Amino acid sequence: MIRERYLNGLVLVLLLAVPLWALINDQPFTITLATRAAIFALAAVGLNIALGLGGLVSLGHAAFFGIGGYAMGILAYHAQTYTPVMELPFVIEGTKSMPIIWLVAMVTSGTAALLIGLLSLRTTGVYFIMITLAFGQMFYFFSISWIAYGGEDGLSIYIRNDFPGLNTLVPINFFAICFTLLCLVLFINGLVARSPFGLALNAARQAPQRVQTVGLDPQRLKLVAFVLSGVITGLAGALFADLNRFVSPTMFSWQTSGEIMIFVILGGTARLCGPVVGAVVFVMLEHALGGLSEYWHIYLGALLLLVVLFARGGLVGLISGRAVAHD
Amino acid sequence: MTDPILATHNLQKSFGALKATDNVSIDLYPGEIHAIIGPNGAGKSTLIAQICGELKPNAGRIELLGQDVTHTNTLTRAKAGIGRTFQISALAMEDTVLQNVLLGAVGAVGSPWRFLFPVLADKLLYSKANDALKRVGLQGDAARRTSDLSHGQRRQLEVAVALTLEPKAFVMDEPMAGLGAEGSKTLTSFLDGLRDEAPILLVEHDMDAVFALADRISVLVYGQIIETGTVDQIRSSKAVREAYLGSDT
């Protein structure tokens, strides 16, 4: 058994070491893979706040991932075509600045999470899963029919967006941005889990009745967690679109929601670095097995089955044992 | 006479044709333990659920400190001063004992909206939680996972969480349930001392505990209070004996 905090450190060091190794050996594709893993991890860290801490099994997190993606796509598309996003009642110009795009992605996905959460949180259990799935699908079909932004074909962005002082087209630079954001969000996640809010949310998942009798509203706690979760997944969506320089309705699809959930469950629900481990393993399998067969998901399915059956705490739980309440 | 801390007036609740609560008026005065006893299915839990705001009565009124709280929810009543313990422990089982009492402290202080500050570093919350644990005798178990506690210790923890709220009235749903003789004795002597802090509305099956603790007892049968009185009055009541043992037929 390795203590979880050491394991977390090890995972992050490895995720940093691989692209550095690739940089020295001039293998830019490996850097791109690591970047992909870091972005998926970020999306899953977002879901982990809702799922792990709040117990909210959302099968609609692709909505936030996609909103983040389209926030980037739309702003960058207008910047590259020199057209305003809208003119009435006031003019909004497109932009190629990453920080502004991130902010827009987080605000829009947070707003969507607030609205979706307000409705979805009236339900629990399987109904909650279905209603979040339904919202995700609504966004999916909306994006398909949104011809102005490519409809089914999606939107291509020719040049990666700018970050002050960095050439973002250099793979290692873009990896550095994504990795830094991941670490920052993990740090914040760690703080939130130990805060009064985290404590109350954790209890709201396990014993909502108890939370009420101490005068706290479990629904409101869960709603805030859902919004926080949506904001982070939205940020990941913007980065993902920037990595590919392309957005399409696929980002909104329920398979995307499922994959984000798989990262969390594979790595370990409610474990700080569970989503990171899950995303890294996923990208590794995708890369290693994807070359062998188009149907590599069969192996992923088998692995997921094993983890769910024999390692309830996910891969992190398998290595570090059950969670220590406050380390 | 002083005003009651907690009172119900002609409370009624039906489930279809079943009158679970039938015109129930009870009150709880400062410094007293008022026990509610009755056979299984008498409507004790339904009554408690209405008092705590989980069930809406069909008719009647509930007052806390003279204020009508009939139409408020659990949350508002908890904030207004009802400290409740559950029949089946409702605790965050994956969390430590300390975290469970800290939750009470967070609720008491009313500040769950701090996201980046470690809860354990908040001296006020910590001391509130620690005091409550000390009082119920669980301070040595603070770091243990709640699911690892014995049944009796969970009951103590339930009480500790209620203590952190510094309630105006305790409403306890069978705190002795499942406790051994020793555990029951310990909790009895603890509750005995608690009444000076806030009165206790006690629903309990353990008659030894009820007779040892209660200043007044109300007997609930088929949703109706058939008798309210002191321990001696209840012991000698014919109606109560009939309700419990059945009349000669």
What token pair was written down for A311? 């390692």
For residues B113 and B187, membership in a common domain is answered with: no
Q: Which residue of B has its CA nearest to A201?
A: B112
Structural domains of chain B, count: 2
**Among A137-146, A274-283, B184-193, B237-246, whose mean pLDDT is lowest?**
B237-246
* Interface contact flag, B75 A217, Cβ < 8 Å: yes
d(CA B179, CA A278): 44
In chain A, positions 210-239, which contact chain B (CB-CB < 8 Å)? Answer: 210-217, 221, 224
| Residues B1 and B74 reside in one and the same domain | yes
Distance of residue A86 Cα from the nearest chain B Cα, in angstroms: 36
pLDDT at B246: 67
Sign of CA dihedral B16, B19, B20, B22: positive
Q: Is B164 on the interface with A (CB under 8 A)?
A: yes
Tell me: do B144 and B106 sit in the same domain.
Answer: yes
Give a yes or no: residue A277 inside a domain.
yes
Q: Is residue B32 part of a domain?
A: yes
Show the domain range for B121.
91-166
d(CA A201, CA B19): 37
- Has residue B247 got a pLDDT over 80? no
Single-letter amino acid, residue A79: A
**Are both B16 and B45 inside the same structural domain?**
yes
Give the separation between CA B171 and CA B34, rounded to whole angstroms: 10
Are residues B181 and B162 both part of a single domain? no
Secondary structure class of B7 (helix, strand, coil): strand
DSSP string across B94-105: TSBHHHHHHHHH
Closest CB to B114 among A195, A202, A216: A195
The answer to whether the CB atoms of A196 and B100 lie below 8 A apart is no
**Position B96 in a domain:** yes
CB distance B117–A217 less than 8 Å?
no
What pLDDT does A324 receive?
62
Instruction: Look at residue A87 and tell me if it is in a domain.
Output: yes
Distance from CA of A53 to the nearest CA of B (A): 12
Is residue A68 included in any domain, yes or no? yes
Interatomic CA distance for residues A126 and A57, integer angstroms: 9
Chain B CB within 8 Å of residue A312 CB: no
Cα-based angle B57, B62, B64 (whole degrees, multiple of 5): 145
pLDDT at A240: 98
Digit-by-digit pLDDT tens for chain A (327 residues) are: 788 899 999 999 999 999 999 999 999 999 999 999 999 999 999 999 999 999 999 999 999 999 999 999 999 999 999 999 988 888 999 999 999 999 999 999 999 999 999 999 999 999 999 999 999 999 999 999 999 999 999 999 998 999 999 999 999 999 999 999 999 999 999 999 999 999 999 999 999 999 999 999 999 999 999 999 999 999 999 999 999 999 999 999 999 999 999 999 999 999 999 999 999 999 999 999 888 888 888 888 999 999 989 888 899 999 988 776 544
Helices (H), chain B: 44-52, 74-80, 97-109, 123-136, 151-164, 181-194, 207-213, 231-235, 238-245
Give the other-Cβ count within 10 Å of A302's Cβ.
Answer: 10
| CATH classification at residue B26 | 3.40.50.300
CA distance B106 to chain A (A): 7
Shortest CA gap B90–chain A (Å): 6
Position B128 confidence tier, pLDDT thresholds 50, 70, 90: very high
Give chain B positions within 8 Å (CB) of A209: 54, 86, 90
- Is A327 inside a domain boundary? no
pLDDT given for residue A327 in this prediction: 41
- Domain final residue, candidates B112, B139, B166: B166
Clarify whether residues B212 and B108 are in a common domain. no
Which of B166, B198, B230 is a domain's end point?
Answer: B166
pLDDT of residue B1: 61
Q: In this structure, are B74 and B2 located in the same domain? A: yes
Residues A325, B74: C-beta atoms closer than 8 Å? no
Report yes or no on B223 lying in a domain: yes
Beta carbons of A54 and A205 less than 8 angstroms apart: yes
Instruction: Read off the pLDDT band of B248 (50, 70, 90).
Output: low
For residue B79, CA distances in Å to A13, A183, A219, A266, B199 come to 47, 38, 16, 41, 17
**Inside any domain, residue B86:** no
Number of domains in chain A: 1
Q: Which two tokens stand for residue B120?
A: 């354990």
Tell whether A326 is covered by a domain.
Answer: no
Final residue belonging to a domain, choices B166, B191, B207: B166
pLDDT value at position B152?
84
Burial of B19 from C-beta contacts in 10 A (0-12 / 13-18 / 19+)? middle
Residue B179 has pLDDT above 90, yes or no: no
CATH of the domain at A310: 1.10.3470
Distance from CA of A226 to the nearest CA of B (A): 14
Tens-place pLDDT, residues B142-172: 999 999 998 888 988 999 999 999 999 999 9
Q: Inspect the interface and report whether the beta carbons of B91 and A199 lie closer than 8 Å.
A: no
* Same domain, yes or no: B243 and B177: yes
Which amino acid is present at A25? N
Do B48 and B156 lie in one domain? The reply is no
Determine what percent of chain B is predicted with pLDDT higher than 70.
98
**Which residues form the domain of A311?**
4-320
Yes or no: say if B4 and B177 are a contact pair by the CB < 8 Å rule. no
User: Residue A325: inside a domain, yes or no?
Assistant: no
According to DSSP, the β-strands at B82-85 and B169-173 are parallel
Which chain B residues are closer than 8 Å to A229 by Cβ?
Answer: none
* B53, part of any domain: yes
Residues B159 and B174 in one domain: no
A191·B78 Cβ contact <8 A: no
Asked if the C-beta of B113 comes within 8 angstroms of chain A's C-beta atoms, the answer is: yes
What's residue A191's pLDDT? 96
**One domain, residues B132 and B242:** no
Judge if B200 and B218 occupy the same domain.
yes
